[in-house]
């Protein structure tokens, strides 16, 4: 770990307010990258709020939103993010074969069109740096404009998360080994 994470007793007032707000939120605890973001308390406050919206308040159930998150974690080879969200994807009902395919950089076989579309849009955003017109039109037709905006939000936010976790070398919990090569 490249950064000393502050304990609540070491935080200044602004950091502590952000920390306390995260505990009172839907997660019930601070997300791991927020502990690094606390070095910029206002950024931490806004990023954590955005993360809560994207985790809990999109139009997608967890099994679908986690597709975009896992594609992002895999794109960035974000070991901690993969570790955390694989479990959330499974708990949300995502089939293990989809997770394994994303991990192995293979295109998964989806049972539903929305899952495939979220995957295609997320891959396009990361690998193509945008979404070409045909895919965009299909995505809007299937997911709606709000859905497309939320997939972009998921990929963007979890890119920030992945960059933070990778830059500061957040480790996995003791005894855990990364599945990502």
pTM metric for this prediction: 0.95
Q: What is the pLDDT of residue 18?
A: 94
Which domains does the chain possess? 8-57 (no CATH), 62-168 (1.20.1290.10)
Tens place of pLDDT per residue across the chain (181 aa): 899 999 999 999 999 999 999 999 888 888 899 999 999 999 999 999 999 999 999 999 999 999 999 999 999 999 999 999 999 999 999 999 999 999 999 999 999 999 999 999 999 999 999 999 999 999 999 999 999 999 999 999 999 999 999 999 999 999 999 999 8
Tokens 């849009």 belong to 121
> pLDDT tens across 80-89, in order?
999 999 999 9
pLDDT of 25 reads 87
Burial class of 40 by CB neighbour count within 10 A (0 to 12, 13 to 18, 19+): middle
pLDDT value at residue 181? 83
The percent of the chain in helix, strand and coil, each rounded to the nearest 5, is 70, 0, 30
pLDDT of residue 127: 97
pLDDT given for residue 167 in this prediction:
97
SS3 27: coil
């Amino acid at each position: 770990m490249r950064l000393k994470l502050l304990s609540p007793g070491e935080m200044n007032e602004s950091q502590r307010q952000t920390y306390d707000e995260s505990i009172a939120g839907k997660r019930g605890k601070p997300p791991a990258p927020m502990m690094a973001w606390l070095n910029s308390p206002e950024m931490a406050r806004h990023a954590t709020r955005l993360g809560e919206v994207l985790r809990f308040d999109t139009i997608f159930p967890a099994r679908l939103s986690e597709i975009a998150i896992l594609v992002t974690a895999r794109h960035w080879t974000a070991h901690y993010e993969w570790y955390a969200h694989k479990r959330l994807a499974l708990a949300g009902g995502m089939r293990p074969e989809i997770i394994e395919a994303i991990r192995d950089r293979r295109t998964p076989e989806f049972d539903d069109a929305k899952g495939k579309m979220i995957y295609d849009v997320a891959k396009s955003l990361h690998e193509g740096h945008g979404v070409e017109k045909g895919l965009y039109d299909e995505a809007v037709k299937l997911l709606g404009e709000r859905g497309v905006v939320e997939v972009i939000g998921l990929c963007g936010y979890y890119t920030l998360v992945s960059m933070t976790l990778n830059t500061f070398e957040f480790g996995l919990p003791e005894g855990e080994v990364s599945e990502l090569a």
